[in-house]
Amino acid sequence: MAGAEAQTGAFSLPNIGDLQKKLSGAGPEQGDSQSESKSDKPGGNAPEREQLEQTLALRQEIEANREQIESLNARKQQAPMERNRLQKQLNQARQDRERDWQSRYQGLSLEALGEELGQQLDTLEENQQTLAKVSGELTRAQTLPERAQSTISDSLARTDDIRRRLNQENEALADVEETQLRTELIALEVRIELRNQELSVASTLEELARLRKRILEAQTQVIQARLDTLQSMIHERRDESLSAEIGSDQLDLSESLAGNPKLKAARSANDELREQLKNTANDVSTLIREVIDAETLLDRTRALSSTVNDQIQMLDGSLLLSRILYEQQKSLPQFKAREGLEKQITEARLIRFDIRQKLQELESQNTTLADNLDLDEEQQQQLRNGLQRLADNRVDLLNQLDQELGRKLNILVRLNLSQEQLSKLTNSLHNAISEQTFWMPSTQPLSLTWFVAFPGQVVKQVESVPWQRMKENGIEIVQEKWHWLFLPIILASGLLLLRPRLHRQIKALNGDIGYLRRDSQRHTPLAIFYTVILCAPGPLLLSLLGWELWVQSGTLSTVLGAALVKIALLWLVFELCYRLLAGDGIAQRHFSWSVDSNRQLRRRLLAVGLTMVPMTLVIAFGQEWPAQLSNDRIGLVTIVAGLVVIGVMLTRAVLAYPVQNHSRTLRSGAICLSAGIPLVLVGLIVVGYYFTSVRLSGRMIDTFYFALLWLLVDATAVRGLAVAAQRLAYKRAVAERKAEPKDTVEGVEVEEPQLDLHQVNQQSLRLLRLGLLVLFGVLLYWVWADVINAFSYTNTIVLWESTEGSGINATTSPISLGDVMTALAIGVGTVILVGNLPGLLEVLLLSRLSLKQGANYAITTLLSYTIVVIGVIITLGALGLSWSKLQWLVAALGVGLGFGLQEIFANFISGIIILFERPVRIGDVITIGELSGTVSRIRIRATTIIDFDRKEIIIPNKVFVTERLVNWSLSDTVTRATLKVGFAYGSNLQDCHDVLAKAAADNARVLRDPEPLILFMAFGASTLDHELRVYIGEIGDILFAINELNRAIDANARELGVEIAFNQLDIHLRSTAEGVSLNGVTAEAESQSTAHYHDEQKASSRSAPGEGDD
């Protein structure tokens, strides 16, 4: 110790004051000052300053530890005297507990008793706070050996490292660094000495802390005894005072005045005040007891919280801590808050306000109590005196009531505050224990050693089960509570008697399915309800028995009761599924599921249900008695085997499920979850997280129940919509048939065929599924709430730190594992929103608004861009990358990408311009350059159009902004078509006009406004050139209109005898080869031939897109 105090070898500890001066820039010597000032300048030797700071901290630690060593030595020497003193206090507290406090307080007045009651309440609160501190000291004393051993081990390892570094000859250390290392070496030696000293006095400190705790507990019992005595005495004195005041209302009056109405009213008012005062005093007594209980429970919870926090800090990561926390979790106080405290506080304040108003009224009425009465002077004086006396009594009663209400108000406020603190503390403690037990191993990882020891562990576990005690408890419960069986048996028997009738009802409902006149939307819910009643007898019997056991005291009864309740729910769910999937059952008749799918689902769900039975027993055992899971080998194997079977069978069940109304992507996700979740839970058990896996398995089973309920409700809703759609179609058909003339004999009524469940209004179905999604989302959150809260533990796992600001304004923010998980969740949520929210918005809102063409697409596209930007910003913010850090990077990337990828950026900006200005919209027919087609998509970089050959053409967005664009349907879809027709010379011009006019008038695609225009344009070389100009309502009709008009013109010309001109060419052959015959007779004959070449006159129109493509 002497060497540690002064030097190690030739080293002397630096003085604390000298180190502080060096850090402040003014050393004891000039040289030191100059050297230090250099290092303190900006750009100086920062590591050197850091080493000085570490040396100063170590030096201060040495002094503090030495003081603690001296204190421990003193406490060790004084321990015998301290033990005797505490033992005397404990004996005195025990004597005070048996003391007759009623005789002690007998001479006190009512007001003095009330003051003493308040003082004792304050003393109780102080005592409970001290008890919480002492409980923390006791916990620290109990866990001191583990902490001391850990500190000693770490300190010895660090000591070896320092000595090894100091002994290295090839490494020259700076003076400051060497001083820091040697100081740390001495600090470690002193730290080891302190821990050894603590170990030597650990048992003594624990004994003293335990004595102090026993003293405080005994003193608490004394205070509570005094409070009980004070309450009873205050209650007695209050009754005596009220009885005395009742006697003061008896007046010595004549018979004629005894029945005076005013006197009766005054006495009645006083009696009401006395009753109110008595009730208020009783309320105060009750509230005081509740305050005592609440504050006692609050202090116990504070002590438990302090103990748990100390245990978490001292035993973090050990299996011992998990076992301790399981026990602490069971010892959490069961707190039920008094309801309506806020309302009672408000009412008390209002009553006090009314009392003060009444007091003011009584003071103003004292001089006019009995004026203008039809009595003689003596009687008036007697009546006045009597009323005055009653009024004085009323004033006294009101004052007492006001004081008592004040006490009640104070106690209510105190009780409300205690309950709020207790509720917050209990929830906080429960969450803390849940987080710790969720994230720490509860068993040893599965290894070869574990499997070797498994048989012996199983035998040991079976032998440790208290079979005899369980048998005795069971017999005792049956003997004492046998009448409990009456209600479950009666209810189950009644349901069994209803089964034949229910079978007939279900059969009748199934028989109506598919027949429009008998079928209805309520058939399926009714059939499901009757099926639930059919399944209810067994589950009802088990659940009632389980509930009765659950509420009994004793761990075994609680475990068995919880297991029976869970098995009852399991029975109900899987028997319901088994009956729904039966042959010719609800799934087949109502939902049109195939027989083969139902058979496979029924068989596989039965396997899943039977597997879940032993798993449910283990889960109930783990939830109600978690401390025993560390030695549970049978349950561990049961859970592992059950998870494997469930993973296989659920996957096969999903494969067998009909997917008519569900996407393949959803089915793939369900397969991944069905196979992946059990596999993950098995992995957790393998690495030692058995309790976590049991806890998650219970939530998984509950979620599976909700998934089955979802499928059932969804199928029922789809069928209901199908029935509604078919009824609507039938009504329309009947209305149309009534509107038709009845020329035929009325036919025989024919029943409609089986309903087609796939012909459903998709919009209504989406809205319905949205509502189901919200509802089941709330239910799932309720199931997983405690597990979600456990993930807040990830906020304590710091991965890196993010620095905000610079210089002296720099602040450091830790980025935890929880932040990374939050960022991932936001990213996934962004992707889901981008994929679904725009479409959902269009279904819910945009489809109901009268928007221009293409506006829906523009809004949803811009919304997708906005969601992506916001999601990226929030995700990066969760990772500590704020805009102040990213703005320069974004600016640099913007400039670089702007030059390197300017075409892409130009297209991106052009795409935004297109969406805002909307020169083109989805569905528009456009011509750009030599390309014509219909716009199908507008994306970030390019726009897709489909030409008239059904080819998709990708055009960069920049082209739409910078080049000439023709939009045939931007503001008006009306298009003019021009047909050119040449009639032969000599034709009647009026007939030519009539041919064209009749063709235009008879065509339904030609608009009447603007009216068709017929023009005689020119005398051609061989034709009379006419033009028919017509307007077509839709751009898509122009080709069909030209085709119909050309055919009509040809038919009209033939009808009126008008000739459509064509070109004629005469060819004269001057000579032929010798021996060649032109007329088929002789080869030498004169050759002369005329050949006719004729071209059909073509109609033309203005350059409408696609005219030449027909």
Q: Which two tokens stand for residue 583?
A: 């042959």
Q: Which two tokens stand for residue 104?
A: 């002690």
Q: What is the pLDDT of residue 777?
A: 84
Q: What is the pLDDT of residue 569?
A: 92
Interacting residues of 782 by C-beta distance below 8 A, sequence separation 6+: none
Residue 988 to residue 120: CA distance in whole angstroms = 127
Residue 131 to residue 223: CA distance in whole angstroms = 14
More confident residue, 1029 or 877: 1029
Residue 844 confidence class, pLDDT cut points 50, 70, 90: low
Residue 700 to residue 694: CA distance in whole angstroms = 10
Residue 196 to residue 147: CA distance in whole angstroms = 11
More confident residue, 26 or 917: 917
Residue 951 to residue 71: CA distance in whole angstroms = 92
Cα angle for residues 701, 707, 713 (degrees, 5° grid): 140
Alpha helices in 513-584 (DSSP H): 523-535, 537-550, 555-580
Whether the per-residue pLDDT at 382 is higher than 80: the answer is no
Q: Which of 794, 789, 785, 877 is nearest to 830 (CA)?
A: 877
Q: DSSP labels for 1021-1084?
A: SSEEEEEEEEEESSGGGHHHHHHHHHHHHHHHHHHHTPPBP------------TT--SSSS-SS
Whether the per-residue pLDDT at 750 is higher than 60: the answer is no
Q: With contact defined as beta carbons under 8 Å apart, do 72 and 198 qualify?
A: yes
* CA-based end-to-end distance of the chain: 109
Residue whose structure tokens are 């010597």: 29
Q: What is the mean pLDDT of residues 819-823?
A: 83
- Give the highest mean pLDDT range of 31-35, 553-557, 920-924, 1015-1019: 1015-1019
For 680-730, the pLDDT digits (tens) are 999 988 988 888 888 889 889 999 999 899 889 888 888 888 887 777 777
More confident residue, 865 or 1026: 1026
State whether residue 942 is helix, strand or coil. strand
Q: What is the pLDDT of residue 1103?
A: 39
Q: What is the pLDDT of residue 1066?
A: 66
Q: What is the mean pLDDT of residues 831-843?
A: 68
Residue whose structure tokens are 């006495």: 267
Backbone angles phi, psi at 1005, to 5 degrees: -80, -15
Domain positions in the chain: 2-248, 279-313+338-433, 448-736+759-785, 901-971, 977-1032+1046-1109
Alpha helices in 806-882 (DSSP H): 817-844, 855-878
Residue 990 to residue 1016: CA distance in whole angstroms = 11
Whether the per-residue pLDDT at 644 is higher than 90: the answer is yes
Q: What is the pLDDT of residue 746?
A: 43
Q: What is the pLDDT of residue 246?
A: 58
- Give the highest mean pLDDT range of 900-909, 920-929, 1053-1062: 1053-1062
pTM for the model stands at 0.61
Residue 780 identity (one-letter amino acid): L
Q: With contact defined as beta carbons under 8 Å apart, do 838 and 860 qualify?
A: yes
- Give the highest mean pLDDT range of 364-373, 619-628, 742-751, 948-957: 948-957
More confident residue, 862 or 122: 122
Compute CA distances 906 → 69, 859, 921, 960, 990, whole Å: 76, 21, 19, 11, 59
Q: Spell out the CATH class of 901-971.
A: mainly beta
More confident residue, 1061 or 1027: 1027
- Do strands 952-956 and 798-804 pair parallel, antiparallel, or not at all (unpaired)? unpaired
- Give the highest mean pLDDT range of 218-222, 359-363, 884-888, 940-944: 218-222
Residue 126 to residue 142: CA distance in whole angstroms = 24
Q: What is the mean pLDDT of residues 420-436?
A: 80
Q: Which two tokens stand for residue 128?
A: 């409970």
Whether the per-residue pLDDT at 889 is higher than 50: the answer is yes
Q: Which of 933, 968, 923 is nearest to 954 (CA)?
A: 933
Residue 791 to residue 818: CA distance in whole angstroms = 7
Residue 168 confidence class, pLDDT cut points 50, 70, 90: confident
For 208-227, the pLDDT digits (tens) are 888 888 888 888 888 888 88
Q: With contact defined as beta carbons under 8 Å apart, do 357 and 379 qualify?
A: no
More confident residue, 442 or 614: 614
Residue 1027 confidence class, pLDDT cut points 50, 70, 90: very high
For 571-615, the pLDDT digits (tens) are 999 999 999 888 888 888 888 888 888 888 889 999 999 999 999
Residue 563 confidence class, pLDDT cut points 50, 70, 90: confident
The residue count for the chain: 1110
- In this structure, is the dihedral angle defined by the CA atoms of residues 62, 63, 64 and 68, taken in order, positive or negative? positive
Whether the per-residue pLDDT at 370 is higher than 60: the answer is no
Residue 295 to residue 417: CA distance in whole angstroms = 10
Q: What is the pLDDT of residue 854?
A: 53
Interacting residues of 569 by C-beta distance below 8 A, sequence separation 6+: 539, 543, 705
Backbone angles phi, psi at 31, to 5 degrees: -60, -45
Q: What is the pLDDT of residue 736?
A: 66
Q: What is the mean pLDDT of residues 821-825?
A: 84
Residue 783 to residue 777: CA distance in whole angstroms = 10
Query: Mean pLDDT across the chain, nearest whole number?
Result: 76
Q: What is the pLDDT of residue 877?
A: 78
Q: What is the mean pLDDT of residues 196-208?
A: 84
Cα angle for residues 581, 582, 586 (degrees, 5° grid): 60
- In this structure, is the dihedral angle defined by the CA atoms of residues 259, 263, 269 and 273, taken in order, positive or negative? negative
For 321-343, the pLDDT digits (tens) are 666 776 666 667 776 777 788 88
Residue 1059 to residue 1066: CA distance in whole angstroms = 20
Backbone angles phi, psi at 297, to 5 degrees: -65, -40
Residue whose structure tokens are 């205690």: 418
For 279-320, the pLDDT digits (tens) are 888 888 788 878 878 877 887 787 777 777 766 766 666 666
Whether the per-residue pLDDT at 38 is higher than 50: the answer is no
% of the chain beyond a pLDDT of 90: 5
Q: What is the pLDDT of residue 916?
A: 66
CA 1034 to chain centre: 51
Compute CA distances 757 → 128, 529, 565, 723, 754, whole Å: 68, 21, 37, 8, 9
Whether the per-residue pLDDT at 1083 is higher than 50: the answer is no
Q: With contact defined as beta carbons under 8 Å apart, do 685 and 693 qualify?
A: yes
Residue 878 confidence class, pLDDT cut points 50, 70, 90: confident
More confident residue, 1088 or 865: 865
List, in sequence order, every beta strand (DSSP E) within 391-453.
none
Backbone angles phi, psi at 70, to 5 degrees: -65, -40
The yes/no answer on whether domain 977-1032+1046-1109 falls in CATH 3.30.70.100 is yes
Helix, strand, coil shares, percent, the chain, to 5: 70, 5, 20
* DSSP letter (8 states) at residue 627: G
Q: What is the mean pLDDT of residues 811-828?
A: 80
Q: What is the mean pLDDT of residues 887-911?
A: 68
Residue 457 confidence class, pLDDT cut points 50, 70, 90: confident
Find the helix or strand (DSSP H, E) in which 270 lies.
helix 261-314
Q: Which two tokens stand for residue 764?
A: 């209504």
Residue 900 identity (one-letter amino acid): G
For 93-134, the pLDDT digits (tens) are 888 878 878 888 887 887 788 788 878 878 887 887 788 788
Whether the per-residue pLDDT at 787 is higher than 50: the answer is yes
Q: With contact defined as beta carbons under 8 Å apart, do 189 and 69 qualify?
A: no
Q: DSSP labels for 738-772?
A: HHS---SPPPPP-------TT---HHHHHHHHHHH
Q: Which of 927, 964, 970, 962 is nearest to 945 (CA)?
A: 927
Cα angle for residues 254, 258, 259 (degrees, 5° grid): 140
Please write down the HEC assignment for all residues of 472-492.
HHHHHHHHHCHHHHHHHHHHH
Q: Which two tokens stand for residue 349?
A: 């304040």
Interacting residues of 183 by C-beta distance below 8 A, sequence separation 6+: 13, 14, 55, 58, 59, 62
Q: What is the pLDDT of residue 643?
A: 92
Q: What is the mean pLDDT of residues 353-380?
A: 66
Q: What is the pLDDT of residue 1094?
A: 38
State whether residue 963 is helix, strand or coil. coil
Q: Which of 142, 441, 158 is nearest to 316 (CA)?
A: 441
Burial string for 298-310 (b: 16+ CB within 10 Å, else e) reads bbbbbbbbbbbeb
Q: With contact defined as beta carbons under 8 Å apart, do 809 and 854 qualify?
A: no
Residue 107 to residue 1098: CA distance in whole angstroms = 130
Residue 972 to residue 1037: CA distance in whole angstroms = 14
Q: What is the pLDDT of residue 570?
A: 92
Residue whose structure tokens are 């009553």: 351
- In this structure, is the dihedral angle defined by the CA atoms of residues 442, 448, 449 and 450, taken in order, positive or negative? positive
CA 1014 to chain centre: 72
